[in-house]
Amino acid sequence: AKAEPSADDKKGQAIEIVVGTVEQLVAERGGEGSISASLIKNTIKRIRPGFSESEYGYSAFGKILDDAQKKGALVVERKEGGAVMVSLPPARP
């Protein structure tokens, strides 16, 4: 029998999905720039129609972004007016 993925594993999966989506969106824009959190979420839902952050143990999509930022995988900026912009960290040399 296969063990159920732990909560941390599920959160890790959610972060991988989000980071992969950001990488794809940034690549489509020529490799730079920041992407709005709402576009990231809409893109994930288009690719994975059943995606729901709660399935991965998150109460809100922004919490996945926060965890990805803590791991150094994304840079998250909250703008005035509530927009959240996400970019990839500068490439490590």
- Reported as a single tens digit per residue, the pLDDT across 49-93 is 999 999 999 999 999 999 999 999 999 999 999 999 999 998 765
Are the beta carbons of 34 and 86 closer than 8 angstroms? Answer: yes
Q: Where are the beta strands (DSSP E) in the chain?
A: 35-36, 75-78, 84-87
Q: Is the pLDDT of residue 32 over 70?
A: yes
The answer to whether 20 and 68 have CB atoms below 8 angstroms apart is: no
**CA atoms of 30 and 16, how far apart (whole Å):** 21
Half-sphere exposure of 28 (CA within 13 A, CB side): 10
Domains of the chain plus CATH, in order, are: 7-87 (1.10.10)
